[in-house]
Structure 1
Amino acid sequence: MGKAARKKNKAPKVRDVFVAQPFEGLAFEPELIALREFVPSATAKLPLKDGDREVTLATVLPGAAAAFVRTDERVFVGLQVQTRSSDISRDLGRSLKWALDAKPGDVLSVPDTTSAPAEGERLQDLLVTDAELDVTLHDNFDWWLPEDTEAEGDVKLSLDRANEAIMPTERLGAGSYWVLAGEKAHLRWVRPEPENALLQALARLSAAGELNLGDGSRYAGSFRAHGLLVPVWDLDPEAHAREWAEPAKQLGVRLEEALASLDSEPLNAAERRARDGLIGRQLTIR
Protein backbone atom coordinates (compact mmCIF):
# COMPACT_ATOMS: atom_id res chain seq x y z
CA MET A 1 0.00 0.00 0.00
CA GLY A 2 1.36 3.37 -0.97
CA LYS A 3 1.88 6.31 1.35
CA ALA A 4 -1.09 8.19 -0.11
CA ALA A 5 -3.40 5.20 0.36
CA ARG A 6 -2.28 4.72 3.97
CA LYS A 7 -2.93 8.39 4.67
CA LYS A 8 -6.39 8.13 3.09
CA ASN A 9 -7.35 5.06 5.17
CA LYS A 10 -6.08 6.48 8.44
CA ALA A 11 -8.89 7.24 10.90
CA PRO A 12 -9.33 10.94 11.63
CA LYS A 13 -7.85 12.05 14.92
CA VAL A 14 -10.46 13.06 17.50
CA ARG A 15 -9.59 16.14 19.53
CA ASP A 16 -10.74 15.40 23.08
CA VAL A 17 -11.05 18.70 24.95
CA PHE A 18 -10.98 18.57 28.75
CA VAL A 19 -14.14 19.95 30.36
CA ALA A 20 -13.21 21.42 33.75
CA GLN A 21 -16.81 21.99 34.87
CA PRO A 22 -18.70 19.07 33.33
CA PHE A 23 -22.02 19.59 35.15
CA GLU A 24 -22.29 23.34 34.49
CA GLY A 25 -25.84 24.38 33.62
CA LEU A 26 -27.53 21.74 35.77
CA ALA A 27 -29.36 23.12 38.81
CA PHE A 28 -28.23 20.08 40.83
CA GLU A 29 -24.56 20.44 39.85
CA PRO A 30 -23.33 20.54 43.49
CA GLU A 31 -25.32 17.41 44.29
CA LEU A 32 -23.80 15.49 41.38
CA ILE A 33 -20.30 16.44 42.50
CA ALA A 34 -20.97 15.39 46.08
CA LEU A 35 -22.42 12.05 44.99
CA ARG A 36 -19.48 11.38 42.70
CA GLU A 37 -16.71 12.47 45.04
CA PHE A 38 -17.48 11.61 48.65
CA VAL A 39 -21.00 10.30 49.36
CA PRO A 40 -20.74 6.52 49.81
CA SER A 41 -24.22 5.08 49.18
CA ALA A 42 -27.03 7.16 47.71
CA THR A 43 -29.58 7.08 44.90
CA ALA A 44 -31.76 9.62 43.11
CA LYS A 45 -34.31 9.46 40.30
CA LEU A 46 -32.97 11.19 37.19
CA PRO A 47 -35.23 13.91 35.71
CA LEU A 48 -35.28 12.74 32.08
CA LYS A 49 -36.42 15.08 29.34
CA ASP A 50 -37.89 12.31 27.20
CA GLY A 51 -39.29 8.84 27.69
CA ASP A 52 -41.24 7.23 30.49
CA ARG A 53 -38.64 4.73 31.72
CA GLU A 54 -37.46 5.45 35.25
CA VAL A 55 -33.68 5.65 35.73
CA THR A 56 -31.96 5.79 39.11
CA LEU A 57 -28.66 7.60 39.51
CA ALA A 58 -26.38 5.89 42.04
CA THR A 59 -23.13 6.78 43.74
CA VAL A 60 -21.55 3.40 42.99
CA LEU A 61 -22.73 0.13 41.45
CA PRO A 62 -21.31 -3.41 41.87
CA GLY A 63 -17.79 -3.53 40.47
CA ALA A 64 -17.92 0.25 39.95
CA ALA A 65 -19.99 -0.44 36.82
CA ALA A 66 -21.18 2.43 34.65
CA ALA A 67 -24.76 1.15 34.44
CA PHE A 68 -26.86 -1.95 34.89
CA VAL A 69 -30.43 -3.21 34.80
CA ARG A 70 -31.55 -5.31 37.75
CA THR A 71 -33.50 -8.50 37.18
CA ASP A 72 -36.64 -6.64 38.31
CA GLU A 73 -36.07 -4.22 35.37
CA ARG A 74 -34.99 -1.25 37.51
CA VAL A 75 -32.38 0.80 35.65
CA PHE A 76 -29.30 2.28 37.36
CA VAL A 77 -26.48 4.58 36.21
CA GLY A 78 -23.36 4.87 38.37
CA LEU A 79 -21.34 8.01 39.10
CA GLN A 80 -18.25 6.50 40.71
CA VAL A 81 -16.80 4.45 37.85
CA GLN A 82 -13.52 2.81 36.85
CA THR A 83 -12.51 5.18 34.07
CA ARG A 84 -13.38 8.53 32.54
CA SER A 85 -12.81 10.68 29.47
CA SER A 86 -12.17 14.40 29.30
CA ASP A 87 -15.91 15.08 29.74
CA ILE A 88 -17.65 13.24 32.59
CA SER A 89 -21.05 14.61 31.55
CA ARG A 90 -20.65 12.94 28.16
CA ASP A 91 -19.56 9.67 29.78
CA LEU A 92 -22.64 9.66 31.98
CA GLY A 93 -24.90 10.65 29.11
CA ARG A 94 -23.64 7.72 27.06
CA SER A 95 -24.14 5.36 29.98
CA LEU A 96 -27.66 6.69 30.41
CA LYS A 97 -28.50 6.17 26.74
CA TRP A 98 -27.10 2.62 26.94
CA ALA A 99 -29.19 1.89 30.04
CA LEU A 100 -32.41 3.06 28.39
CA ASP A 101 -32.02 0.35 25.73
CA ALA A 102 -30.63 -2.38 28.01
CA LYS A 103 -32.41 -5.53 29.17
CA PRO A 104 -32.72 -7.05 32.67
CA GLY A 105 -29.37 -8.50 33.70
CA ASP A 106 -27.33 -6.32 31.32
CA VAL A 107 -24.24 -4.62 32.77
CA LEU A 108 -22.11 -1.83 31.29
CA SER A 109 -18.78 -2.29 33.04
CA VAL A 110 -17.17 0.97 31.87
CA PRO A 111 -18.56 4.08 30.16
CA ASP A 112 -17.83 4.77 26.51
CA THR A 113 -14.81 7.06 26.69
CA THR A 114 -13.40 6.49 23.19
CA SER A 115 -16.12 7.33 20.65
CA ALA A 116 -15.95 10.69 18.94
CA PRO A 117 -18.09 13.40 20.62
CA ALA A 118 -21.55 13.79 19.13
CA GLU A 119 -24.49 16.14 19.63
CA GLY A 120 -27.14 15.37 22.24
CA GLU A 121 -25.26 12.91 24.44
CA ARG A 122 -24.32 14.97 27.50
CA LEU A 123 -26.40 15.06 30.69
CA GLN A 124 -27.37 18.65 29.89
CA ASP A 125 -28.98 17.35 26.67
CA LEU A 126 -30.82 14.45 28.30
CA LEU A 127 -32.03 15.84 31.65
CA VAL A 128 -34.34 18.63 32.79
CA THR A 129 -31.67 21.16 33.69
CA ASP A 130 -33.66 23.20 36.25
CA ALA A 131 -35.05 20.22 38.17
CA GLU A 132 -34.11 19.27 41.72
CA LEU A 133 -32.47 15.99 42.63
CA ASP A 134 -34.27 14.09 45.39
CA VAL A 135 -31.39 12.22 47.04
CA THR A 136 -31.91 9.15 49.22
CA LEU A 137 -29.02 8.14 51.46
CA HIS A 138 -28.52 4.48 52.39
CA ASP A 139 -26.51 2.97 55.23
CA ASN A 140 -25.67 -0.07 53.10
CA PHE A 141 -25.65 -1.29 49.49
CA ASP A 142 -28.52 -3.76 49.80
CA TRP A 143 -30.36 -1.76 47.13
CA TRP A 144 -28.01 -3.34 44.60
CA LEU A 145 -30.35 -6.34 44.72
CA PRO A 146 -34.12 -6.55 44.12
CA GLU A 147 -36.25 -6.79 47.26
CA ASP A 148 -36.54 -10.25 48.83
CA THR A 149 -33.39 -11.36 47.00
CA GLU A 150 -30.70 -13.12 49.03
CA ALA A 151 -27.08 -12.38 48.16
CA GLU A 152 -24.94 -15.49 47.69
CA GLY A 153 -21.37 -16.43 46.79
CA ASP A 154 -19.23 -13.72 45.19
CA VAL A 155 -22.16 -11.31 45.19
CA LYS A 156 -22.48 -11.61 48.97
CA LEU A 157 -18.72 -11.14 49.45
CA SER A 158 -18.73 -8.02 47.27
CA LEU A 159 -21.78 -6.64 49.08
CA ASP A 160 -20.30 -7.30 52.51
CA ARG A 161 -17.02 -5.57 51.59
CA ALA A 162 -18.88 -2.56 50.23
CA ASN A 163 -21.10 -2.31 53.32
CA GLU A 164 -18.10 -2.48 55.66
CA ALA A 165 -16.43 0.45 53.88
CA ILE A 166 -19.35 2.87 54.31
CA MET A 167 -18.71 5.87 56.55
CA PRO A 168 -21.79 7.28 58.35
CA THR A 169 -23.08 10.16 56.22
CA GLU A 170 -26.01 12.59 56.54
CA ARG A 171 -27.27 15.22 54.11
CA LEU A 172 -27.64 18.67 55.68
CA GLY A 173 -28.69 20.51 52.50
CA ALA A 174 -28.03 20.80 48.79
CA GLY A 175 -24.47 19.61 48.21
CA SER A 176 -23.85 19.71 51.97
CA TYR A 177 -22.93 16.50 53.80
CA TRP A 178 -21.85 15.56 57.31
CA VAL A 179 -19.56 12.52 57.40
CA LEU A 180 -18.03 10.60 60.28
CA ALA A 181 -14.60 9.52 59.05
CA GLY A 182 -13.12 7.32 61.75
CA GLU A 183 -12.39 9.48 64.78
CA LYS A 184 -13.12 12.72 62.89
CA ALA A 185 -16.32 14.32 61.62
CA HIS A 186 -16.53 16.79 58.75
CA LEU A 187 -18.94 18.97 56.86
CA ARG A 188 -18.19 19.00 53.13
CA TRP A 189 -20.19 21.58 51.21
CA VAL A 190 -20.06 21.81 47.40
CA ARG A 191 -20.82 25.45 46.58
CA PRO A 192 -22.20 26.59 43.19
CA GLU A 193 -20.57 30.04 43.15
CA PRO A 194 -17.48 30.93 41.07
CA GLU A 195 -14.35 30.19 43.08
CA ASN A 196 -13.07 33.77 43.30
CA ALA A 197 -16.36 35.16 44.61
CA LEU A 198 -16.76 32.31 47.07
CA LEU A 199 -13.23 32.78 48.43
CA GLN A 200 -13.89 36.47 48.96
CA ALA A 201 -17.11 35.72 50.83
CA LEU A 202 -15.41 33.10 52.97
CA ALA A 203 -12.61 35.57 53.69
CA ARG A 204 -15.13 38.21 54.78
CA LEU A 205 -16.65 35.76 57.25
CA SER A 206 -13.23 34.62 58.42
CA ALA A 207 -12.07 38.17 59.15
CA ALA A 208 -15.27 38.74 61.14
CA GLY A 209 -14.80 35.52 63.13
CA GLU A 210 -17.93 34.00 61.60
CA LEU A 211 -16.49 31.16 59.51
CA ASN A 212 -17.50 28.30 61.75
CA LEU A 213 -20.57 26.45 62.96
CA GLY A 214 -20.16 27.27 66.64
CA ASP A 215 -18.38 25.42 69.45
CA GLY A 216 -16.68 22.22 68.39
CA SER A 217 -16.12 23.33 64.80
CA ARG A 218 -13.38 24.93 62.75
CA TYR A 219 -12.81 25.72 59.10
CA ALA A 220 -10.33 23.15 57.77
CA GLY A 221 -9.80 24.28 54.17
CA SER A 222 -11.22 23.50 50.74
CA PHE A 223 -10.67 21.35 47.68
CA ARG A 224 -11.70 21.68 44.05
CA ALA A 225 -13.96 19.15 42.38
CA HIS A 226 -15.14 19.36 38.76
CA GLY A 227 -14.87 23.12 38.58
CA LEU A 228 -16.41 24.02 41.94
CA LEU A 229 -14.89 24.73 45.33
CA VAL A 230 -15.76 22.49 48.29
CA PRO A 231 -15.18 24.10 51.70
CA VAL A 232 -14.64 21.67 54.58
CA TRP A 233 -15.20 22.09 58.31
CA ASP A 234 -13.94 19.83 61.10
CA LEU A 235 -16.69 19.04 63.59
CA ASP A 236 -16.94 17.53 67.05
CA PRO A 237 -17.37 13.80 66.33
CA GLU A 238 -19.32 13.33 69.55
CA ALA A 239 -22.15 15.50 68.24
CA HIS A 240 -24.83 13.93 66.04
CA ALA A 241 -25.29 15.15 62.49
CA ARG A 242 -28.69 16.68 63.29
CA GLU A 243 -27.00 18.99 65.83
CA TRP A 244 -25.14 20.67 62.94
CA ALA A 245 -28.17 21.17 60.69
CA GLU A 246 -29.24 24.54 62.11
CA PRO A 247 -25.67 25.93 62.48
CA ALA A 248 -25.01 24.93 58.85
CA LYS A 249 -28.20 26.69 57.78
CA GLN A 250 -27.17 29.87 59.61
CA LEU A 251 -23.69 29.69 58.09
CA GLY A 252 -25.33 29.46 54.68
CA VAL A 253 -27.31 32.63 55.40
CA ARG A 254 -24.14 34.48 56.45
CA LEU A 255 -22.36 33.26 53.36
CA GLU A 256 -25.15 34.46 51.07
CA GLU A 257 -25.07 37.87 52.74
CA ALA A 258 -21.30 38.06 52.33
CA LEU A 259 -21.60 37.16 48.64
CA ALA A 260 -24.26 39.83 48.13
CA SER A 261 -22.06 42.47 49.79
CA LEU A 262 -19.12 41.98 47.43
CA ASP A 263 -20.54 44.20 44.67
CA SER A 264 -20.77 47.24 46.94
CA GLU A 265 -18.02 46.56 49.48
CA PRO A 266 -14.60 45.44 48.20
CA LEU A 267 -12.47 43.42 50.60
CA ASN A 268 -10.57 45.50 53.13
CA ALA A 269 -6.97 44.80 54.13
CA ALA A 270 -7.86 42.30 56.89
CA GLU A 271 -10.22 40.44 54.58
CA ARG A 272 -7.61 40.29 51.82
CA ARG A 273 -5.14 38.75 54.27
CA ALA A 274 -7.80 36.26 55.30
CA ARG A 275 -8.40 35.38 51.64
CA ASP A 276 -4.68 34.75 51.09
CA GLY A 277 -4.71 32.43 54.08
CA LEU A 278 -7.73 30.52 52.77
CA ILE A 279 -6.11 30.06 49.37
CA GLY A 280 -3.19 28.37 51.09
CA ARG A 281 -5.44 25.86 52.87
CA GLN A 282 -6.13 23.40 50.05
CA LEU A 283 -7.02 19.86 51.05
CA THR A 284 -6.68 16.48 49.37
CA ILE A 285 -9.68 14.23 50.02
CA ARG A 286 -9.17 10.49 49.60
Structure 2
Amino acid sequence: MVELSSPPSLRVLYPKAVLTGFRRKGGELPDTVYTLSGVRTDPAHLAAYNRVCRFRLSDELPATYPHLLTFPLQIKLMAGGDFPFPLVGSVHVANRITQSRPLRVGESFDLRVHLENLRDHPRGRQFDVVGEALVDGEVVWTDVSTYLRRGGGTGRSERSERTEPPAPTAVWHVPDDIGRRYGEVSGDRNPIHLYRMTAKMFGFPRAIAHGMWTKARCLAAFEGRLPDAYTVDVAFKLPVLLPAKVGFAAAETDDGWRFDLFGAKDGKPHLTGTISSPR
Protein backbone atom coordinates (compact mmCIF):
# COMPACT_ATOMS: atom_id res chain seq x y z
CA MET A 1 0.00 0.00 0.00
CA VAL A 2 1.39 3.37 -1.06
CA GLU A 3 0.19 6.48 0.78
CA LEU A 4 0.17 9.56 -1.45
CA SER A 5 0.57 13.02 0.02
CA SER A 6 -1.40 14.76 -2.75
CA PRO A 7 -3.48 13.84 -5.81
CA PRO A 8 -1.34 12.82 -8.81
CA SER A 9 -1.15 15.27 -11.71
CA LEU A 10 -3.08 14.11 -14.76
CA ARG A 11 -1.14 16.61 -16.91
CA VAL A 12 2.02 14.66 -16.06
CA LEU A 13 0.53 11.15 -16.12
CA TYR A 14 -1.18 11.27 -19.52
CA PRO A 15 1.98 12.10 -21.54
CA LYS A 16 3.91 9.50 -19.54
CA ALA A 17 1.30 6.85 -20.33
CA VAL A 18 1.38 7.67 -24.05
CA LEU A 19 5.18 7.69 -24.28
CA THR A 20 5.65 4.40 -22.39
CA GLY A 21 2.64 2.51 -23.75
CA PHE A 22 4.62 0.74 -26.47
CA ARG A 23 6.63 -1.06 -23.79
CA ARG A 24 3.60 -2.88 -22.38
CA LYS A 25 3.66 -6.58 -23.28
CA GLY A 26 0.76 -7.97 -21.28
CA GLY A 27 1.01 -9.99 -18.10
CA GLU A 28 -0.63 -9.84 -14.70
CA LEU A 29 -2.05 -6.84 -12.92
CA PRO A 30 0.15 -5.24 -10.26
CA ASP A 31 -1.04 -5.52 -6.66
CA THR A 32 -0.23 -1.88 -5.88
CA VAL A 33 -2.76 -0.01 -3.74
CA TYR A 34 -2.73 3.79 -3.68
CA THR A 35 -4.31 5.69 -0.81
CA LEU A 36 -4.93 9.38 -0.19
CA SER A 37 -6.01 10.51 3.28
CA GLY A 38 -7.90 13.50 4.60
CA VAL A 39 -9.67 14.38 1.35
CA ARG A 40 -12.17 17.22 1.51
CA THR A 41 -14.50 18.42 -1.22
CA ASP A 42 -13.91 21.84 -2.77
CA PRO A 43 -17.41 23.41 -2.82
CA ALA A 44 -16.59 25.47 -5.93
CA HIS A 45 -15.40 22.38 -7.81
CA LEU A 46 -18.48 20.42 -6.74
CA ALA A 47 -20.73 23.26 -7.92
CA ALA A 48 -18.98 23.30 -11.30
CA TYR A 49 -19.43 19.53 -11.61
CA ASN A 50 -23.09 19.76 -10.66
CA ARG A 51 -23.71 22.41 -13.31
CA VAL A 52 -22.03 20.38 -16.08
CA CYS A 53 -23.90 17.19 -15.14
CA ARG A 54 -27.20 18.90 -14.28
CA PHE A 55 -27.30 17.98 -10.59
CA ARG A 56 -28.90 20.37 -8.15
CA LEU A 57 -26.59 22.35 -5.87
CA SER A 58 -26.49 20.55 -2.53
CA ASP A 59 -24.18 19.69 0.36
CA GLU A 60 -24.51 16.02 -0.61
CA LEU A 61 -22.08 14.66 -3.18
CA PRO A 62 -23.69 12.95 -6.19
CA ALA A 63 -22.73 9.28 -6.20
CA THR A 64 -20.69 9.83 -9.38
CA TYR A 65 -18.67 12.76 -8.02
CA PRO A 66 -16.08 10.81 -5.95
CA HIS A 67 -15.12 9.03 -9.19
CA LEU A 68 -13.43 12.29 -10.20
CA LEU A 69 -11.43 12.27 -6.97
CA THR A 70 -10.22 8.69 -7.45
CA PHE A 71 -9.55 9.14 -11.18
CA PRO A 72 -5.99 10.52 -10.82
CA LEU A 73 -5.11 7.53 -8.63
CA GLN A 74 -6.61 5.20 -11.24
CA ILE A 75 -4.52 6.76 -14.01
CA LYS A 76 -1.40 6.57 -11.84
CA LEU A 77 -1.94 2.83 -11.53
CA MET A 78 -2.48 2.41 -15.27
CA ALA A 79 0.48 4.63 -16.17
CA GLY A 80 2.85 2.66 -13.96
CA GLY A 81 5.68 0.67 -15.49
CA ASP A 82 4.27 -2.59 -14.10
CA PHE A 83 0.82 -2.12 -15.66
CA PRO A 84 0.53 -4.70 -18.48
CA PHE A 85 -1.45 -2.72 -21.11
CA PRO A 86 -1.12 0.62 -22.88
CA LEU A 87 -3.51 3.17 -21.40
CA VAL A 88 -4.32 4.47 -24.89
CA GLY A 89 -6.83 2.06 -26.38
CA SER A 90 -8.10 0.69 -23.07
CA VAL A 91 -11.86 1.20 -23.33
CA HIS A 92 -14.10 2.00 -20.36
CA VAL A 93 -17.01 -0.41 -20.92
CA ALA A 94 -18.87 -0.47 -17.59
CA ASN A 95 -19.07 1.26 -14.23
CA ARG A 96 -20.76 0.24 -10.98
CA ILE A 97 -21.03 2.57 -7.99
CA THR A 98 -22.40 1.60 -4.58
CA GLN A 99 -22.88 4.04 -1.73
CA SER A 100 -24.08 3.11 1.74
CA ARG A 101 -24.81 6.77 2.41
CA PRO A 102 -24.06 10.09 0.71
CA LEU A 103 -20.78 11.85 1.37
CA ARG A 104 -21.16 15.51 2.29
CA VAL A 105 -19.35 18.77 1.79
CA GLY A 106 -17.08 19.45 4.76
CA GLU A 107 -16.65 15.75 5.51
CA SER A 108 -13.14 14.29 5.55
CA PHE A 109 -12.62 10.91 3.93
CA ASP A 110 -9.85 8.67 2.63
CA LEU A 111 -9.50 7.25 -0.88
CA ARG A 112 -8.14 3.85 -1.86
CA VAL A 113 -7.64 2.46 -5.39
CA HIS A 114 -6.43 -0.89 -6.72
CA LEU A 115 -6.68 -3.21 -9.76
CA GLU A 116 -8.29 -6.65 -9.83
CA ASN A 117 -10.09 -9.36 -11.78
CA LEU A 118 -8.08 -9.65 -15.00
CA ARG A 119 -10.09 -11.97 -17.22
CA ASP A 120 -10.59 -13.10 -20.79
CA HIS A 121 -13.10 -11.47 -23.10
CA PRO A 122 -14.10 -12.47 -26.64
CA ARG A 123 -12.46 -9.32 -27.94
CA GLY A 124 -9.46 -9.17 -25.64
CA ARG A 125 -9.01 -8.93 -21.88
CA GLN A 126 -10.96 -7.10 -19.21
CA PHE A 127 -9.93 -5.78 -15.81
CA ASP A 128 -11.45 -3.72 -13.01
CA VAL A 129 -10.18 -0.56 -11.36
CA VAL A 130 -11.69 -0.35 -7.88
CA GLY A 131 -11.94 2.93 -5.98
CA GLU A 132 -13.20 3.31 -2.43
CA ALA A 133 -14.02 6.18 -0.09
CA LEU A 134 -13.68 5.51 3.62
CA VAL A 135 -14.87 7.47 6.64
CA ASP A 136 -13.28 6.51 9.95
CA GLY A 137 -12.04 3.30 8.34
CA GLU A 138 -15.47 2.28 7.00
CA VAL A 139 -16.06 1.96 3.26
CA VAL A 140 -19.09 4.12 2.40
CA TRP A 141 -18.62 4.36 -1.38
CA THR A 142 -17.22 1.90 -3.93
CA ASP A 143 -16.60 2.42 -7.65
CA VAL A 144 -15.77 -0.43 -10.05
CA SER A 145 -14.69 0.71 -13.52
CA THR A 146 -14.33 -2.12 -16.03
CA TYR A 147 -11.93 -1.66 -18.94
CA LEU A 148 -11.48 -3.72 -22.09
CA ARG A 149 -8.13 -4.09 -23.80
CA ARG A 150 -8.83 -5.30 -27.32
CA GLY A 151 -6.71 -7.96 -29.00
CA GLY A 152 -5.83 -11.57 -28.29
CA GLY A 153 -9.35 -12.50 -27.30
CA THR A 154 -10.77 -15.95 -26.73
CA GLY A 155 -12.21 -16.11 -30.24
CA ARG A 156 -15.70 -16.89 -28.97
CA SER A 157 -18.35 -14.87 -30.75
CA GLU A 158 -20.55 -12.41 -28.91
CA ARG A 159 -24.20 -12.63 -29.77
CA SER A 160 -26.06 -9.38 -29.70
CA GLU A 161 -29.60 -8.74 -30.80
CA ARG A 162 -30.76 -5.34 -31.89
CA THR A 163 -33.80 -4.36 -29.88
CA GLU A 164 -36.02 -1.36 -30.28
CA PRO A 165 -35.35 1.34 -27.69
CA PRO A 166 -38.08 2.14 -25.18
CA ALA A 167 -40.24 5.21 -25.63
CA PRO A 168 -38.21 8.19 -24.33
CA THR A 169 -39.34 9.92 -21.18
CA ALA A 170 -37.11 12.87 -22.09
CA VAL A 171 -35.05 14.08 -25.05
CA TRP A 172 -31.79 15.91 -24.34
CA HIS A 173 -29.65 18.06 -26.60
CA VAL A 174 -25.99 17.38 -25.84
CA PRO A 175 -23.86 20.38 -26.91
CA ASP A 176 -20.68 20.23 -28.93
CA ASP A 177 -18.57 21.53 -26.05
CA ILE A 178 -19.71 19.10 -23.32
CA GLY A 179 -16.49 17.08 -23.68
CA ARG A 180 -14.38 20.17 -23.10
CA ARG A 181 -16.57 21.34 -20.19
CA TYR A 182 -16.55 17.95 -18.48
CA GLY A 183 -12.84 17.58 -19.24
CA GLU A 184 -12.17 20.88 -17.51
CA VAL A 185 -13.96 19.87 -14.32
CA SER A 186 -12.86 16.21 -14.31
CA GLY A 187 -9.27 16.62 -15.49
CA ASP A 188 -9.90 13.95 -18.14
CA ARG A 189 -8.76 15.84 -21.25
CA ASN A 190 -8.44 12.82 -23.50
CA PRO A 191 -8.29 14.21 -27.08
CA ILE A 192 -11.20 12.04 -28.20
CA HIS A 193 -13.51 14.19 -26.05
CA LEU A 194 -12.31 17.66 -27.00
CA TYR A 195 -12.46 18.54 -30.70
CA ARG A 196 -13.45 16.98 -33.99
CA MET A 197 -9.87 17.19 -35.27
CA THR A 198 -8.28 15.53 -32.24
CA ALA A 199 -10.98 12.84 -32.14
CA LYS A 200 -10.34 11.98 -35.80
CA MET A 201 -6.72 11.19 -34.91
CA PHE A 202 -8.09 8.25 -32.90
CA GLY A 203 -10.66 7.06 -35.42
CA PHE A 204 -13.77 8.96 -34.36
CA PRO A 205 -15.63 11.18 -36.85
CA ARG A 206 -16.37 13.74 -34.13
CA ALA A 207 -15.55 14.30 -30.48
CA ILE A 208 -17.40 11.95 -28.12
CA ALA A 209 -18.92 12.56 -24.70
CA HIS A 210 -17.23 11.06 -21.65
CA GLY A 211 -18.92 7.87 -20.52
CA MET A 212 -18.97 9.07 -16.92
CA TRP A 213 -20.67 12.29 -18.00
CA THR A 214 -23.46 10.26 -19.63
CA LYS A 215 -23.82 8.21 -16.44
CA ALA A 216 -23.90 11.31 -14.26
CA ARG A 217 -26.40 13.04 -16.56
CA CYS A 218 -28.71 10.04 -16.32
CA LEU A 219 -28.33 9.82 -12.54
CA ALA A 220 -29.21 13.52 -12.22
CA ALA A 221 -32.59 12.74 -13.76
CA PHE A 222 -33.44 10.67 -10.66
CA GLU A 223 -32.72 13.34 -8.04
CA GLY A 224 -35.33 13.37 -5.31
CA ARG A 225 -36.38 9.78 -6.03
CA LEU A 226 -33.42 7.80 -4.69
CA PRO A 227 -32.66 6.44 -1.20
CA ASP A 228 -29.43 7.25 0.61
CA ALA A 229 -28.03 3.78 -0.13
CA TYR A 230 -28.10 2.26 -3.62
CA THR A 231 -26.07 0.76 -6.46
CA VAL A 232 -26.06 2.37 -9.90
CA ASP A 233 -24.65 0.05 -12.54
CA VAL A 234 -24.18 0.95 -16.22
CA ALA A 235 -22.79 -0.57 -19.40
CA PHE A 236 -21.42 1.84 -21.99
CA LYS A 237 -22.48 0.94 -25.51
CA LEU A 238 -21.92 3.16 -28.56
CA PRO A 239 -20.25 6.55 -28.01
CA VAL A 240 -22.25 9.78 -28.08
CA LEU A 241 -20.90 11.77 -31.04
CA LEU A 242 -21.04 15.51 -30.32
CA PRO A 243 -23.27 17.40 -30.74
CA ALA A 244 -26.10 14.95 -30.22
CA LYS A 245 -29.79 14.57 -29.58
CA VAL A 246 -30.41 11.63 -27.26
CA GLY A 247 -33.42 9.93 -25.80
CA PHE A 248 -33.59 8.99 -22.12
CA ALA A 249 -36.01 6.39 -20.81
CA ALA A 250 -36.57 5.26 -17.23
CA ALA A 251 -38.88 2.62 -15.83
CA GLU A 252 -39.45 1.36 -12.29
CA THR A 253 -38.51 -2.22 -11.45
CA ASP A 254 -39.15 -4.44 -8.44
CA ASP A 255 -35.83 -3.32 -6.94
CA GLY A 256 -35.46 0.23 -8.23
CA TRP A 257 -35.07 1.54 -11.77
CA ARG A 258 -33.88 0.63 -15.23
CA PHE A 259 -32.77 3.35 -17.61
CA ASP A 260 -31.48 3.72 -21.17
CA LEU A 261 -29.77 6.41 -23.20
CA PHE A 262 -29.97 6.14 -26.99
CA GLY A 263 -29.90 8.14 -30.19
CA ALA A 264 -33.11 10.12 -30.52
CA LYS A 265 -33.23 9.62 -34.31
CA ASP A 266 -31.74 6.18 -34.91
CA GLY A 267 -32.34 4.48 -31.54
CA LYS A 268 -28.74 3.25 -31.30
CA PRO A 269 -27.86 2.43 -27.67
CA HIS A 270 -25.39 4.59 -25.79
CA LEU A 271 -25.88 3.36 -22.22
CA THR A 272 -28.01 0.90 -20.27
CA GLY A 273 -28.25 0.97 -16.52
CA THR A 274 -29.98 -0.04 -13.34
CA ILE A 275 -30.43 1.49 -9.90
CA SER A 276 -31.01 -1.09 -7.18
CA SER A 277 -30.49 -1.91 -3.52
CA PRO A 278 -26.80 -2.01 -2.54
CA ARG A 279 -24.89 -5.18 -3.36
TM-score of the aligned structures, taking structure 2 as reference length = 0.25
Find the structure with the greater CA-based Rg.
1
Between Structure 1 and Structure 2, the one with more helix by share is 1
Name the structure where strand makes up a greater proportion of residues.
2
TM-score by length of 1: 0.24
